[in-house]
Amino acid sequence: MPAKLSSDPPVGLALNPGPRARVLPSADELAALDPTWVRYLLTASFQDFQTGRNTELDWVIQNYRARGEIILALINTETLGELPPADPNGWASYNARVANLAQKIATFYRGAIDALEIFNEPETQEILADDYAALLNACYPKIKAVSDVPVISAGICCGVNYPYLERVMELARDSCDAVGWHPYGMRVDGFPFSDWGFGDLRTSITRARAIARKPLWITEIGAELAYQWGAGIEPAQAVAEYLTRAFGLMRELGADSVARAFWFTWRISEAGWGLVDNTGTRRPAWYALQQQAHLPPISITRVQFDPTTLSASQQLGVRITVKNNSNAPLATQDPQPGFVYTEGDTFYSRGFPDSPGAMRVAIDFDGRVGVDHPYRWGLGSPLAPGETRTITGAIRVQTPIARNYWAGVVQEQIAWHQDAQGAQRITVQPSVEMRDVKITPTILSAGQFLQISATVVNNGALPLATQGPDPGFIYDEGDSFVSRGFADAPGNFRVGVDCATRTGIDHPYRWGLGSPLAPGEARTITGLIRVKHAQTQLYWAGLVQEHIAWVQDRIGPQAIRVIESSGKLPEVVSVNFSVAPDRTLNISITIKNTRNTSLPTQDPQPGFVYAEGDTFYSRDFPDVPGAVRVAIDLYNRTGVDHPYRWGL
């Protein structure tokens, strides 16, 4: 029967083959990093095929194992020095040669190596699952005849090749003590973003473990600087964050799912892989792996913020999963999980000062001033040795801003055991916002109307109160909402328009929303200003909560040119209305050109038929500056004035 594996912390380093000076850390360098395990590939150039001895493995044992590292030796095609046979008839003798060499290596290094892995990513070497299973079946009894060293099946790439694993397990399940798996390019619970990579790491491991029916050894997992990490994070930091999240996830899943995990790799020259660069300078991932190899008494295994986009006054949910890595219960303090802070609070201001030695989880964020990690929660009760627990809480956000939040775990007045975990960009939108501002036309004559249009969106949870004047109201240049009898009522929302040379009351032209704006509702507010004076003027719009604040201002700035009227306006001579048998309202308007020049016009052509509820905008006949049209308006109309317009 396969040997039972221990469940020590699954932290290892997978070393890439190559010249020692370029790909292997020195003994002192590895001691500084201090992973629990090292995975080393045996190559034929150092291999004695008679005795099983490998002189480079001797160096690894003398320099690494002597300092406490545990060795996983990898046997692959490079060890034998020959590729798998192209002829199917050659597999029996090939398997025998591999199995005999594996037995010699296991014999020679009995007690000096701690596990043997049989081949690396066989599917990428075009080895069929049936052929690899036969190889594994040949090697396992040979090794077990001379050693009790655990035998690990080949790491299969890249996290989603379940059919290959299923077939190998079907044919050779009892010929390995644990199952290798290489889940490259897998996002970690949505990091770095929701559709990144080949799939989800949690799903990959969980599904592979179910197929294997025994613990997985993640004999390679890694990430490259050149991966597409997205905006807002520097690649080296992204790799370190990925490493931290991946190991946190594997610890959360437990040793029965992931018994060992090896980060790839120390260094690859002229490449974005590795813990150090070409000069040996440590990258952020080096420090991240070192932290994983030296667990504090309590560690964070998972951080979740939800939602990542929300409105001011809503609650940002926080879920932080922690694990007690020590052999003693961990004390804690208030506030209890589930406590809700309001932005600007601190644990001090809410009456929960730090109690020396107590464990709490905490949240900090970009641009914070004052007390660090102001939002802290206790664990609810002492955390038992080995126990994992998820702590929840919430922060009621207030300020519209996009910034990064992250988690830490503190032993109060002693140490931060972890910080900067699970960094997530959170976007807080205004509870109400104005967008799609249009101020048209940009050129018009004195006496014509400047048209205002703006869409107001309620992102909050409560209706927005408002007041008059209603949308569509017409101001004359020089009016103000006060002069027209619509003085500001505290707390009400209105759209306002201002201009660069205005004197007196700011944003003198204001319009209400027509009625309270429901949560989630978007509404377009329109209004008109009859201009009087020839000038070029900058206009813009804002959104005000009266007597409280301008929620937004200087939105949609637009230069407007008003020119002198070129003479008398055309005169309407007669208007006739008649209803046809089909209930169509027929309109006949006679106008007279009182100028000595022709009148410009535009579509739609005379005779065009509108349906009730249409406007010249909805029928794709927007107003052209200076063009003359006849138009019909009606009592109790809302929205665009004179919605039915025809050219001449």
DSSP letters for 509-548: EEE--SSPBPTT-EEEEEEEEE--S-EEEEEEEEEEETTT
At the fourth CATH level, which superfamily is domain 432-563? Answer: Immunoglobulins (2.60.40.10)
Buried b (16+ CB within 10 A) or exposed e, 211-226: bbebbbbbbbbbbbbe
Residue 126 CB burial class (10 angstroms; 0-12, 13-18, ≥19): exposed
pLDDT band at 460 (very low <50, low <70, confident <90, very high): confident
Residue whose token pair is 């989880």: 361
* CA nearest neighbour of 626 among 590, 593, 602: 602
Rounded mean pLDDT, 252-269: 92
User: Is the model's pLDDT at 242 over the cut of 80?
Assistant: yes
pLDDT of 630 over the 80 cut = yes
**pLDDT above 70 for 566:** no
As a whole number of angstroms, the distance between CA 39 and CA 115 comes to: 9
Region 306-332 average pLDDT: 92
Chain CA centroid to CA 1, Å: 45
pLDDT reported for residue 406: 97
Rounded to whole angstroms, what are the CA distances from 551 to 309, 313, 484, 503?
Answer: 19, 14, 24, 22
599 vs 285 pLDDT, higher one: 285
Place 9 in a pLDDT band, splitting at 50, 70 and 90: low
| CA pair distance 225, 262, nearest whole angstrom | 18
pLDDT for the residue numbered 3: 35
Give the Cα-Cα-Cα angle 310, 315, 319 (nearest 5 degrees): 105
Residue 584: which pLDDT band, with cuts at 50, 70 and 90? Answer: confident
Domain 12-294 has CATH 3.20.20.80: yes
With a cut of 80, say whether residue 117 has pLDDT above it: yes
As a whole number, mean pLDDT of residues 592-607 equals: 87
pLDDT at 568: 66
3-state secondary structure of 61: helix
Q: What number is the average pLDDT over the span 510-539? A: 95
Q: Is the dihedral of CA 637, 639, 644, 645 positive or negative?
A: positive
Burial status of residue 627 (CB atoms within 10 A of its CB: 0-12, 13-18, 19 or more): middle
Do residues 187 and 197 make contact, with C-beta atoms less than 8 angstroms apart? yes
Mean pLDDT for 7-35 is 85
Residue with tokens 């308007």: 589
Q: Rg of the chain's alpha carbons, rounded to an integer?
A: 37
Measured over the CA atoms of residue 80, residue 82, residue 87 and residue 90, the dihedral's sign is negative
Q: How many CB atoms lie within 10 A of CB 282?
A: 14
Confidence of residue 441 (pLDDT cuts 50, 70, 90): very high
pLDDT at 336: 98
Helix (H) or strand (E) run with residue 376 in it: strand 375-377
Residue 567 has pLDDT above 70, yes or no: no
The pLDDT of residue 311 is above 90? no
- Judged against a pLDDT cut of 90, whether residue 551 lies above it is answered with no
- C-alpha span between 524 and 472 (Å, rounded): 11
State the pLDDT confidence band at 207, using cuts at 50, 70 and 90: very high
Q: Does residue 291 register a pLDDT over 80? A: yes
- Alpha-carbon span 117 to 151, nearest angstrom: 6
Which tokens hold the place of 79? 């060890």
What residues pair up with 496 in beta bridges, in sequence order? Answer: 510, 542
Residue 429 has pLDDT above 70, yes or no: yes
Asked which of 79-88, 211-220, 313-322, 634-643 is least confident by mean pLDDT, the reply is: 634-643
Arithmetic mean of pLDDT, 23-50:
94
Query: Which residues make up the CATH 2.60.40.10 domain(s) of the chain?
Result: 301-429, 432-563
Q: What is the phi/psi pair of residue 548, to 5°?
A: -120, -60
pLDDT band at 44 (very low <50, low <70, confident <90, very high): very high
* pLDDT of 10 above 80: no
% of the chain residues with pLDDT over 70: 98
Distance in angstroms (rounded) separating the CA atoms of residues 607 and 100: 96
pTM above 0.85, yes or no: no
In 3D space, the residue among 5, 1, 40 whose CA is nearest the CA of residue 260 turns out to be 5
On the question of pLDDT at 266 being above 90, the answer is yes
Q: Which amino acid is at 478?
A: G
Residues of the chain with CATH 3.20.20.80: 12-294
- Cβ count near 455 (within 10 Å): 15
How many whole angstroms separate alpha carbon 382 and alpha carbon 397?
30
Which tokens belong to 489?
A: 């009522």
Q: Which CATH superfamily is 301-429 part of?
A: Immunoglobulins (2.60.40.10)
Identify the CA nearest to 223 among candidates 205, 234, 204, 238: 238
Q: What is the DSSP string of 258-321?
A: EEEEEEE-SB-TTSS-BSB-TT-PBPHHHHHHHHHHS--SEEEEEEEEE-SEEETTSEEEEEEE
Does the structure show a pLDDT above 50 at 301? yes
What CA–CA distance (Å, rounded) separates 363 from 374?
7
Report how far residue 302's alpha carbon sits from residue 398's, in angstroms, rounded to the nearest whole number: 26
Q: Quick one: which H or E segment has residue 207?
A: helix 201-212
